[in-house]
Amino acid sequence: MALNTGSRYTTKTNDVDSAIIAVRKGSSSVKYTNYVVKSSETFENIANRIYRDPNLYWKIADINPHVKFPDLIPIGTTIRIPS
């Protein structure tokens, strides 16, 4: 499983059994804007509207760990959208 290098996670290989594991990178300052979720919105459709690419949903997911179910975000939830 390859992880995106722009994510807050990086991959490491465990030399003992050649397993690839995800390791959280150090925190960095990220510029973002607050956004209030509307009805039926998901990280994917927000990413599609903002970045014109639904596959960039991980940028929004990484900066919003408080959202446990990104396909069922409660209406009115404030999330951060990275610049």
Closest by CA position to 64, among listed 43, 45, 46: 43
| Confidence at residue 21, expressed as pLDDT on a 0 to 100 scale | 45
Q: What percent of the chain has pLDDT over 90?
A: 58
Closest by CA position to 43, among listed 24, 59, 66, 22: 59
Report the pLDDT averaged over residues 17-28: 48
Q: Which CATH class is domain 31-82?
A: alpha beta
Query: What are the domain boundaries of the chain?
Result: 1-28, 31-82
Per-residue pLDDT for 10 more than 90?
Answer: no
